[in-house]
Structure formats: structure tokens, C-alpha cells
Amino acid sequence: MIGFFRIDIKHFCQLLIVAVGLFFGLDVQSQDVCTRNLEDARESFGQGRFIEVDSLLRKCIDRGFTKQERIDALELLALSKLYLDDMEMADSVYLELLTVDPEHTVNPLIDPPDLIFLHQSFRTEPLFTYSVSAGLTYSSPAVIHSDFIYPITLVKYNDQLPLVMDPVKDYQGSIGYIFGVNMDAVVYRSIYVGMGLSYSRTVFKYKAQYLRDIYASFDVEDLYYESTYKQNMDWISVPVYIKYQFDKIKFKPYLLGGASYNGLIRSRQNDLTREKIAGTPETKLERGSANDIGSKNKNNFSLNLGLGFMYKTNGIDYIVVEFRYSRFLKNVSSMDTRYGDIDNQTNMILYGIALDDYSLSSFDLTFKFLRPFYKPKKIR
């Protein structure tokens, strides 16, 4: 009994190998036949025997052609229907062609005028595109008004009094990150309107050098301090924009402009330090982080300008590189609450940190995966 099953399994495997070989052999043979049929159809078309084109191609269009052969066959069949004055079938075949190849184009210098007119009678632009993106954002504050805990200090220096010392502040832009999704809809030809949703973290660094005592009776070298921190802010943004796309250039560059709502969801001052930088040594004061969202305006708006380049991959998808500049329109600091926040009061007293009025500017570099959605339709 066991030997019987072994023989049966052996025979089954042999039959399976033969069946697979026959299947692929027939498939290759079918493709060879269809390739010859396409060549014969081109010859018949060239000799004006348009009625023969349908019988040569139709049996292979659903199965037997490669994708490019199928596109060529459908274009040839649509053109033959035009020359036979069968406009209804020409429309039907060309719609099938645009379903197979939504980005199919015609060449005015080579293609017959009838085919060009037929192509122009269909909607060939995508209804909309959607994309996902990730990238880097470089942010820096633009100070509107600077504030100080120790605004003016009168000090004794070389036995001369007074000497006025103003605190020195320095903001340095830094790199954060951004993720988002976008959808663009065609308004007219190469003009799109778009909307997105993104999450970003903006980062910048702060450093201030100042004298801690007012009307001090000590030498200046014994009062000189430096405070630093790194500001992290997390935003949810909803950009709305208009985009113009240059479709006839290989990399499809585009320009965009618009505005964005920016909602602040998290804000922290990280790596706070206060260090004496002159005079008698003193222990460095450090604090890991402080929540300062209570001192910020949680709702803001920005203007955006952008430039992008679209590179087509295999199929209809695109890889996009985009550069975008954004400028906030409102003060990021809240004038109503910044001095009432407990964490801010602690930072002001211990670290000499006063919150300035400032807006934000950012430069984004993002990489997108974009897919257009097509729905070809006869429009005239």
C-alpha cells in the first residue's frame, strides 16, 4: 500500500511538471502568435484594409499581448475605427486604451490629426493626486520685541560707576522633522488646488549672557552668567495652496503658494543650563526640561511658498522632492500668559530667561510618494 502511494506521488509530480511546462509553452506560443498578428495588423492598416485590423487584434487584446503591445494594438484599432467612420467604436476602444495607460499621449508631429482630435475629446488629466511625505525642517525665530529679566545693570568697573551693561541674546536655528499627507485636485489643466495635514517639530537654540544684579557693588567679572536651552515645539498644520505644474518637462517641476493653520500641541524648553563664565567659580545649574506651552499662542497661521520636482517611476507613481518656505503671521509667545506660567517663573528667576516676542520662519525639505487617480471620460 505504501509503495502504491509512492508510485502515485511520483507520477503526480511528473504530470504536474508536464502540465506547468505545457501551460508556459502555450502562453509563450500565444504571445508569439499575437506579436505576429500585431505586425500583420500594421501591414493591413498601411495598405488601407482597415476592416481586417479588428479580426487580427481583438482576440489578443484581452490575453496574449504584453502591456506595450496592448497599448499599440488599441491605438491602431481606434484609428482604424476612425477611418471606417465608426465613431462609437473608436470612442469605446480609445477609452479602453486610456484605462490601460492613463498617461497616454499623442505626438502632434507624428500622429494623424484624427487621432489627436480623438485624444483631445477625452479627459486625460488625473481627477486628483494623493501623497505621503517625510522630511526635515529648519526653523529659526524672528524676534519682534526682546524682553529682559535684568534689562539694564549698573556696575562698578575699574572704580568707575556707573557702567551700563545690556544682556546679549542669540537665537540659532536648528533642524527638526515633518511628516504629512496631501491631496491635490485639478482645477484647469496644469492648475491644482491642494490641502494637506502634517505633523512637525520645530527646533531652535537660545543663549543669553547677562549680569544678575542691578546696581551691583561688585566687579563685573564676578556677575557674568550665560544661560542656554533648546526649544522644541510640536505642531499640527493644515496647509491650503494653489499649485502650477509644468507637465511638458521631464521632471515636472511645480510652484505653489498658500497659507496654513498651525496648532501647537506641545512645547518644551530642553537642556536648560546656567553657568558663570567669569569671576569666582560656581556650580553649573542644569534642568532637564520644562513644559512652557502655557506661555505660547496655541493657534497660528503662516504663508507658504514652494518649489518641487516630480520624477516618474515605473507605472503612474512619482517620487517628489519639495522645498517649502513658511513664515508665521502671529507672535508665538503669548503676552497674556507667559509670565503667569509657574515653569516660566522658575526659569526667569533661576536662569534669567525672559520670553521674547517672536514669529517663526522655516525651510522644509520633504520627499513624497505621489500617486495620481485617473478616471478617463469622453468630454466632447
Question: Which residue is it, cell 486628483?
Answer: 128
pLDDT of residue 205: 94
Q: How many angstroms separate the CA atoms of 351 and 227, rounded?
A: 6
Which of 41-55, 147-161, 278-292 is predicted with the least confidence, judged by mean pLDDT?
A: 147-161
CB atoms within 10 A of CB 261: 14
Q: How many angstroms separate the CA atoms of 36 and 59, rounded?
A: 13
DSSP, res 320: E
Same domain, 64 and 134: no
Return the higher-pLDDT residue of 250 and 238: 238
Same domain, 168 and 251: yes
Same domain, 102 and 143: no
The secondary structure of 273-297 as a DSSP string is EEEE-SSS--PPEEEEEEE-GGGB-
Please name the residue ranges forming H helices in 216-371. 342-351
Confidence of residue 63 (pLDDT cuts 50, 70, 90): confident
Judged on CB neighbours under 10 Å (0-12, 13-18, 19+), 118 is: buried
**Long-range contact pairs involving 331-334 (C-beta distance under 8 Å, separation at least 24):** 331/144, 331/297, 331/357, 331/358, 331/359, 332/141, 332/233, 332/296, 332/297, 332/300, 332/358, 332/359, 332/360, 333/295, 333/296, 333/297, 333/357, 333/358, 334/294, 334/295, 334/296, 334/297
Same domain, 340 and 239: yes
Return the higher-pLDDT residue of 183 and 22: 183
Contact 235, 289 (CB under 8 A): no
Dihedral (Cα; 45, 49, 51, 52), 10-degree rounding: -80
pLDDT of residue 156: 47
CATH of the domain at 154: 2.40.160.20
Same domain, 332 and 354: yes
Q: What is the pLDDT of residues 25-46, one digit of tens each?
A: 434 445 678 989 889 889 999 9
Q: With a cut of 90, say whether residue 261 has pLDDT above it.
A: yes
CB atoms within 10 A of CB 172: 12
Same domain, 293 and 144: yes
The per-residue pLDDT of the chain, averaged, comes to: 83
| Amino acid letter, residue 300 | N
Domain interval for residue 58: 2-123
Q: How many angstroms separate the CA atoms of 74 and 79, rounded?
A: 9
* Domain closes at, from 123, 155, 170: 123
Same domain, 193 and 119: no
* Grid cell locating 245: 505644474
Same domain, 286 and 188: yes
Q: With a cut of 90, say whether residue 79 has pLDDT above it.
A: yes
* Domain closes at, from 69, 88, 123: 123
Strand-pairing partners, residue 318, are: 312, 370
* Grid cell locating 257: 503658494
Q: With a cut of 80, say whether residue 1 has pLDDT above it.
A: no
Say what the pTM is.
0.77
Instruction: Please list, in sequence order, all residues whose beta carbon lies within 8 angstroms of the beta carbon of residue 266, skipping any fewer than 6 positions away.
Output: 232, 233, 234, 293
Same domain, 148 and 16: no
Q: How many angstroms separate the CA atoms of 149 and 355, rounded?
A: 9
Contact 328, 109 (CB under 8 A): no
Strand-pairing partners, residue 304, are: 258, 326
Confidence of residue 203 (pLDDT cuts 50, 70, 90): very high
Question: What is the chain's Cα-based Rg?
Answer: 35
Q: What is the pLDDT of residues 273-303, one digit of tens each?
A: 888 776 667 777 777 788 888 888 999 999 9
Q: What angle do CA 161, 164, 166 make, to 5 degrees?
A: 155
Q: What is the total count of domains within the chain?
A: 2
* Domain closes at, from 123, 147, 171: 123
Angle between helices 87-100 and 67-83 (to 10 degrees): 160
CB atoms within 10 A of CB 272: 21
Same domain, 217 and 251: yes
Same domain, 254 and 342: yes
